Structure 1
């Protein structure tokens, strides 16, 4: 069993059919998955946006939220890693809400899975060795 930190861009694909859904669903097999509790709000916001754009009905959005709630995703409080995520955001010039996943991965000595290809590229091009292998793109799981 492998343990990964997963971000909202990966988890939302469990409930919304789009590019990367099959790779995201493959994570649910023999892996332990953890995320900062911020992920719930990020996923809810994505579902709301889909309803607003009429890509999902409210019923479908609520069903998706319940599926995420019922998953085996292990949540971690974000307060203990808040300052670390801010440090990373400043250092990488990248939004703190993305860096909180990186902060958790670094704290737990794990890799994190994301659908954010630009973040993966940024980390791999970093001069800081800690970042180069920190993230795995969903497309790499294909």
Structure 2
């Protein structure tokens, strides 16, 4: 079994929607055992809502994708990571919900897989973070 890594929503959404980074996102999921905070479910659902609203995918298809999410990734409670996430958000002027992924990766000493260029630029120098941007 591959080693675990934290996956953020920018990667997980690309497992199911057509995007230039989809092949890299799928390859990452085959290289690492995906782990994420439970908040990923809400972010994933919101991204699917945006896809449906834009007419790219039917609502029934989106509902099927959210239903299978827990089979694709190990979702873990993030509450213990909130203090560090808030601290990082304040220090780096970044959304705390994104910082939850960073805090979880640092606390669990796992790589963070992301396709979020803003997150990458703000946290690439964070001590203790093994950041793996999709390319």
Q: TM-score, normalised by structure 2?
A: 0.91
1:93-112 residue pairs with structure 2 within 5 A?
A: 93-112=93-112
Structure 1: how far apart are the matches of 2:33 and 2:56? 30
1:1-142 residue pairs with structure 2 within 5 A?
A: 1-71=2-72, 73-124=73-124, 126=125, 128-131=126-129, 134-139=130-135
Q: Once the two structures are superposed, what CA deviation does each residue of 1:25-79 show, in whole Å capped at 9, x if it has no partner?
A: 11232421111000001000110111112121101211221332321x1111011
Structure 2: how far apart are the matches of 1:23 and 1:30? 10
Aligned residues: 134
> What is the CA RMSD across the aligned residues, in angstroms?
1.4
Q: TM-score, normalised by structure 1?
A: 0.87
1:15 touches 1:67 (CA, 8 Å); kept in 2? no
Structure 2: how far apart are the matches of 1:20 and 1:64? 18
Structure 1: how far apart are the matches of 2:89 and 2:104? 13
User: What's the CA shift for 1:110?
Assistant: 1.1
User: Is there any run of 5+ residues in structure 2 with no aligned partner, and where?
Assistant: none
User: Is there any run of 5+ residues in structure 1 with no aligned partner, and where?
Assistant: none
Q: Once the two structures are superposed, what CA deviation does each residue of 1:90-128 show, in whole Å capped at 9, x if it has no partner?
A: 01111001000000000101110011022112222x4x5
Q: Aligned to 2:113, what secondary structure does the other structure show?
A: strand
